[in-house]
A and B are shown apart, each in its own frame.
Chain A
Amino acid sequence: MTAPTIANRDDLISYLHTAMALEHATIPPYLTAYYSIHSNTNSDAAHIIRVVAVEEMLHLTLAANVLNAIGGTPDLTRPGFVPSYPAYLPDGEDDFTVDLRPFSPEAVETFCKIERPGTTSGAGPRLVQTADSGRPLLVSSPTVEGMRFYSIGEFYAEIIEGLEKVAASDPALFCGDPARQVGPESFYSGGGALFPVTDLDSALRALHFIADQGEGLDSGLYDDDGELAHYYRFRQLQLGRYYEVGDEPDAPSGPPLFVTWDDVYQVKVSARLADYPPGELADAARQFNADYGAFLGLLTKAFNGQPALLQDAVWYMFRLRDGINQLVRNPLPGSDWLHAAPTFEIPAAVGSDQDASRTTGEMAQAVSR
């Protein structure tokens, strides 16, 4: 078994920064697939993807609460917080990358891989050697060079173990200002309640919740609240049938589920600004990235002592929705009839000023391409 990689508060803080980046990194692939679906079609699939994406937002916020509880400073604006897609996932082997794809069998396959349950149990090694690929990793160990996790669930198992160990030796671990915690009064959500993290118990509860809701840390289909884990939600799209309580993993017995793969805007996979010819469509793509960067700035403020700002995040997200919808409906010139899609290349110059519209012109120029 690999030696534990978390020895002190600083290690925990590094891990929780990575946890926030990881939770966020799953959202652009889900949003791209979700908004590629033609409106009023594929309601089963759209609903499944939407629920998972909303729960990832909850996980992001819970991770921020744990980080704040031990005196960390969440920052969603730092360079590299948003990965450059395609990005590798923590899978032991380099057998797949996470792309920004239209809703498709390939996209669902990737979603299952993102959310797949860990295969190690108990004493098995959680950390495996990373291949030297030079690609960005979604989950690597922030404290041990060249190592990464076999699955997202195991990444959280490492944090949970480290948290318990550090808390036992450092009674002042939970020194964060409780006013920085985001509570249910600031977070309008489906898929589980948000709660403040102030001690070891609530921190463990938050981390277990994230792991259970996503991948099923204990490899169960349903979590303690009777919610189907994300992996199995996506498996339903592959198997064409809903699960019911008591089902075996590969044999859902619920009602059939219908997918029409053709009712989708075929957006370019992991589109980059460089794929856009100069013009108004490229401007719209840059505008979206600037808006998204400003939105991450807003979240950073909210996670740094101003949780009430999450109310503004709601209308901000609707604005982002309108931006994505406009892009995916536009053909991308020079791409063989593929459609445009947001690139999530966040301009470096974005500050945390919540009103991006006034500075968009400057920010757009900051994009290097």
Chain B
Amino acid sequence: MTARSFERFLNLSVDLTAFRETELLGTGLAHHYLAKVRAACGDEIFADLLAAHRLARSDASRDAGDRDPVLLDRALRHRIFSDDTLGPVARNVIKLWYAGMWYGLPPEWTDRYGARAAAATSTVTAASYQEGLLWPAIGAHPPGAKAPGYGSWAQPPRIEDRYLKRAAK
């Protein structure tokens, strides 16, 4: 794996999960997840997914150097989610980050592109359950792990400004 494909996988994951790169790297699992996705769908489709994502980003890029969030959303749907090959993989990448589980690709997909052993439903590492983005997304902690401390439940949830309604994009 090259540093460049890792960076591209991270960029893809940022757009798919709506978590920031620091948070994704903060799970300590990004390298594991990249290896899992690539093993499940194969090098070629993995490269196609990253390429489609780069095109989607360029579709949405503005003169100021940033991206139009509405255009990016549309481009991701057009180039990735509505694609028979890339869509199911991308959906599973989202589930992977949020649940810490690799969910098996659907039978229609494996019928067409081949069933790899790595494509079956499986846990990536023992740490991936506790690092699932699901927990910070709902302001909770994974039951049985990452104890937040006695009495923590009496505190208001800590929600970052950017997740509040009408937050500046």
Given contacts A284-B22, A326-B23, contact A311 B147 (CB under 8 A): no
Within 54-71 of B, Cβ neighbours of A (below 8 Å) are at none
Q: Mark B11-34, 1 if CB is under 8 A from A, else 0.
A: 000000000111101111000000
Cα distance A38–B29 when bound, in Å? 12
Given contacts A40-B127, A280-B22, contact A322 B146 (CB under 8 A): yes
Cα distance A317–B150 when bound, in Å? 11
CB distance from A98 to the nearest CB of B (A): 27
B22 near A315: Cβ-Cβ < 8 Å: no
Q: Mark A168-207, 1 if CB is under 8 A from B, else 0.
A: 0000000000000000000010000000000000000000
Cα distance A317–B147 when bound, in Å? 11
Which of chain A's residues have a CB closer than 8 A to the CB of B26?
284, 325-327, 329-330
Task: Answer yes or no: B2 CB below 8 A from chain A CBs.
Answer: no
Given contacts A39-B28, A326-B26, contact A315 B127 (CB under 8 A): no
Cα distance A322–B158 when bound, in Å? 13
Cα distance A326–B146 when bound, in Å? 13
CB distance from A295 to the nearest CB of B (A): 12
Count B-side interface residues using an 8 Å CB cutoff: 19
Which of chain B's residues have a CB closer than 8 A to the CB of A316?
149
Select one of B25, B146, B151 contacting A314, CB under 8 A.
B151
**Which residue from chain A places its CB closest to the CB of B151 in the assembled complex?**
A311
CB distance from B42 to the nearest CB of A (A): 28
Binding site of B, secondary structure by majority: helix, strand, loop or mixed?
loop
Cα distance A240–B115 when bound, in Å? 48
Cα distance A219–B28 when bound, in Å? 42
Q: Mark A274-289, 1 if CB is under 8 A from B, else 0.
A: 0000001101100000
Cα distance A118–B41 when bound, in Å? 62
A315 near B152: Cβ-Cβ < 8 Å: yes
Most chain A CB atoms below 10 A, which of B22, B27, B151: B22
Which of chain B's residues have a CB closer than 8 A to the CB of A86?
none
A329 near B27: Cβ-Cβ < 8 Å: yes
Q: Mark B85-114, 1 if CB is under 8 A from A, else 0.
A: 000000000000000000000000000000
B151 near A281: Cβ-Cβ < 8 Å: no
Binding site of A, secondary structure by majority: helix, strand, loop or mixed?
helix
B152 near A281: Cβ-Cβ < 8 Å: no
Which of chain B's residues have a CB closer than 8 A to the CB of A44?
none
CB distance from A238 to the nearest CB of B (A): 28
Which of chain A's residues have a CB closer than 8 A to the CB of B148?
315, 318-319
Cα distance A284–B149 when bound, in Å? 22
Which of chain A's residues have a CB closer than 8 A to the CB of B151?
311-312, 314-315
A314 near B150: Cβ-Cβ < 8 Å: yes
Which of chain B's residues have a CB closer than 8 A to the CB of A281?
22
CB distance from A152 to the nearest CB of B (A): 30
Task: Answer yes or no: B126 CB below 8 A from chain A CBs.
Answer: yes
Which of chain B's residues have a CB closer than 8 A to the CB of A317?
149
Cα distance A322–B147 when bound, in Å? 10
CB distance from A341 to the nearest CB of B (A): 13
Select one of B20, B149, B155 contacting A280, CB under 8 A.
B20
Residues of A within 8 A of B (CB): 38-40, 188, 280-281, 283-284, 311-312, 314-319, 322, 325-327, 329-331, 357
Assuming A316-B149, A330-B25, what are 16 further A-B pairs, CB within 8 angstroms? A39-B28, A188-B150, A280-B21, A280-B22, A281-B22, A284-B26, A312-B151, A314-B150, A315-B148, A315-B151, A315-B152, A326-B22, A327-B26, A329-B25, A329-B28, A357-B158
Query: Could you jot down 22 A-B contacts, CB within 8 Å?
Result: A38-B28, A39-B28, A280-B20, A281-B22, A284-B22, A284-B26, A311-B151, A312-B151, A314-B149, A314-B150, A315-B148, A315-B149, A315-B150, A315-B155, A316-B149, A317-B149, A318-B147, A318-B152, A326-B22, A329-B25, A330-B22, A330-B25
